[in-house]
Structure 1
Amino acid sequence: MSHRRQLLFGMYLDAVSMEDVIDRCHAALKTRSRMLLGVLNAAKIVKLRNDSLLRNSLLECDLLLADGQSVVWASKILGRPLPERIAGIDVFDRLLALAHQEGRTVALLGARPDVLRRLEEVIAVRFPGLKIACSHHGYFAPHEADQVAGAIRASGADMLFIGMTSPKKEIFLATYGPTLNVPVLHGVGGSFDIMAGLTRRAPLAWQRAGMEWAYRLLQEPRRLWWRYLATNTSFIRLTAREMIRPSRAFEPDSPAKPTAAEQG
């Protein structure tokens, strides 16, 4: 199944629809071939320029999707349009539905233990009978990562969802993904907290207006105001620079082995 890829901010993003993504994942399940999903928003575009671990992990993805309305808008301004925003949490929800429909098994990795338990309860209600083959919280020490990966591998899960922050989830997927024998791998970030009901997602109108960040800011103004100001300003500056001189595609490099602090 072929599709276009658009070079934006030095990264090749896949110009696909949500239906295309689910179809590709479905095909990977049938053949048990790897489908590593990555999502890119304005914050990651800013951060990856100085974070080789994050950048390399995104370059490894089989599908790199625009999880951010600002990225879609920028693609149209720059004349390299992406068809739509594909939010990681929506992919998570659709893939759970696919697993439920086909009797597939899933593995969950991330969040606090109490949040993970609540997520399992929500999944059991929404998708009765869906088997969770492996479940582990995200607060494990770096030296425990091998053991966590081994449990996922032994579970025989068809899909793995990682609800950890960047770049921890990307690093885990890049480090262990090839050995897990899980066809569909998706780092979903804060989606565990949202689906478990710990945090609220912006209403649909805010999402369509590209204002999810503002909705989050209203919920946690003291913690987030400076981050969003700095990130949004940098993203606007990068978009203006792309209009004048498009970035060349990033190539994988060989970063130093991540430290314990970077992994955890």
Structure 2
Amino acid sequence: MSVRLFGHVFSTGTAAEVLAEAEAKPCTLPRLVVTANVDHIIVLSENPGFRKAYQGAAARTLDGMPLVWLARLGGCYDAIRVTGHDLLACAVAAPQVPGRRVFVLCASTRVGDRIRALFVRAGLAPEDVAVAAPPFGFETDAAYSCALADAVRSHGTTLLLMGVGAPKSEIWVDRQGAALGAPVVLSVGDALTVAAGLAPRAPRLMQRAGLEWLFRFLHAPQRLFHRYFVRSWRFVWILANARDSAAR
């Protein structure tokens, strides 16, 4: 149940199947799950560290609807969209996996505390869920990163939730490697804030129509204008180049 796009193999299974796939990988390094959208494809074309993290990921999902449509056009008719929201909802659902220890890296302790409450409601003890809100630029601070990785490993983390944005989440996890232990890592970005009830999500109809990006833009136009209306055009060039290469 997979499809190859832009040089990477993506799972076409459900969120539960993707989590099971990651959990089944050997427990020697962090088992990173990434959720690809159009912007990820653009960053992959520019950032070697992000490409390395993607290549080493335990599982990759199709988050953006344009990628799902491309997969279906290529003959993978059962391709479905699996977002960070889907993966997080699956992870939080009761009953919890026996022995699960969760570590939440997010934008604020307020978000983290609310995510902890969700896991406690699902059956974990409060001490099973640790929270950290690293400062801006933490990924370039070697001493802080070392201490944070040690905290993740010392907690006995089996599920690490990364909500500090791409590509820094994925690159940081890849660089820390075994220093984190061997948790399943979900790089879910803003899904943590939404699950915490501190940000809205697009109506389901907009999600299905591939217009969730528009909803997000309307709620943060200054932050997202360049990404959606300037930077995203690079995807057209990447797609054209990929099709040209495939035709040769």
Give the alignment's TM-score, normalised by structure 1. Answer: 0.81
Q: Counterparts in 2 of 1:132-143, with a 5 A limit?
A: 132-139=128-135, 141=138, 142=141, 143=143
1:18 maps to which residue? 15
Alignment of 1:84-163 (within 5 A): 84-97=80-93, 100=96, 102-124=98-120, 126-131=121-126, 132-139=128-135, 141=138, 142=141, 143-163=143-163
2:6 to 9, 14, 20: 9
- The alpha-carbon distance between structure 1 residues 247 and 175, as it changes in their structure 2 partners (threshold 3 A), is farther
Runs of at least 5 residues in structure 2 that lack an aligned partner in the other structure: none
Distance 1:149 1:176 in 2: 7
Do the aligned residues in 1 keep the contact of 2:163 with 2:187 (CA within 8 Å)? yes
Residue type of the partner of 2:220?
Answer: E
Report deviation, 1:204.
1.1
Count of residues paired in the alignment? 242
User: Are the equivalent residues in 2 in contact too, given 1:8–1:80 (CA < 8 A)?
Assistant: no
Q: Secondary structure at the match of 1:120?
A: helix
Q: 1:45 aligned to 2:62? A: no
Change (3 A) 1:51 1:103: same
2: CA distance, partners of 1:55 / 1:190: 21
1:218 corresponds to which residue?
218
Q: Verify the 8 A CA contact 1:8 1:247 in the aligned structure 2.
A: no
> Superposition pairs for residues 210-249 of structure 1, below 5 Å?
210-246=210-246
**Paired residue for 1:63?**
59
Q: Specify whether residues 247 and 157 from structure 1 end up closer, same or farther in structure 2 by C-alpha distance, changes over 3 A only.
A: farther
In structure 2, the CA distance between the partners of 1:206 and 1:144, relative to structure 1 (3 Å rule), is: same
Report deviation, 1:191.
1.6
**Alignment check: 8 A CA contact 1:161 1:188 kept:** yes
In the other structure, the counterpart of 2:183 is 183
Per mean C-alpha deviation after superposition, the further-off stretch among 157-166 and 129-138 is 129-138
Secondary structure at 1:37's aligned position in 2?
A: strand
Amino acid at match of 2:161: F
Q: Residues 95 and 122 of structure 2 are in contact (CA less than 8 Å); yes or no, is this contact kept in structure 1?
A: no
Q: 1:227 to 1:90 in 2, by over 3 A?
A: same
TM-score, structure 2 as length reference: 0.85
> Where does the alignment leave 5 or more consecutive residues of structure 1 unmatched?
249-264
1:50-83 per-residue CA deviation (whole Å, 9 max, x = no partner) reads 1111111111101111111111112223445561
Q: Say whether the 8 Å CA contact 1:42–1:232 is kept in structure 2.
A: yes
Q: Compared with structure 1, are the counterparts of its residues 82 and 234 closer, same or farther at alpha carbon in structure 2 (3 Å cutoff)?
A: farther
Cα deviation per residue 1:131-150 (whole Å; 9 max; x = unaligned)? 43422113263130100110
| 2:194 aligned with 1:194 | yes
- Choose 114-123 or 211-220, whichever is displaced more: 114-123
Give, in whole Å, the separation in 2 of the partners of 1:76 and 1:130: 42
Contact 2:153 2:180 in 1 (8 A): yes
Note the aligned Cα RMSD (angstroms).
2.6
The verdict on how the C-alpha distance between 1:92 and 1:11 changes in structure 2, with shifts beyond 3 A counting, is: same
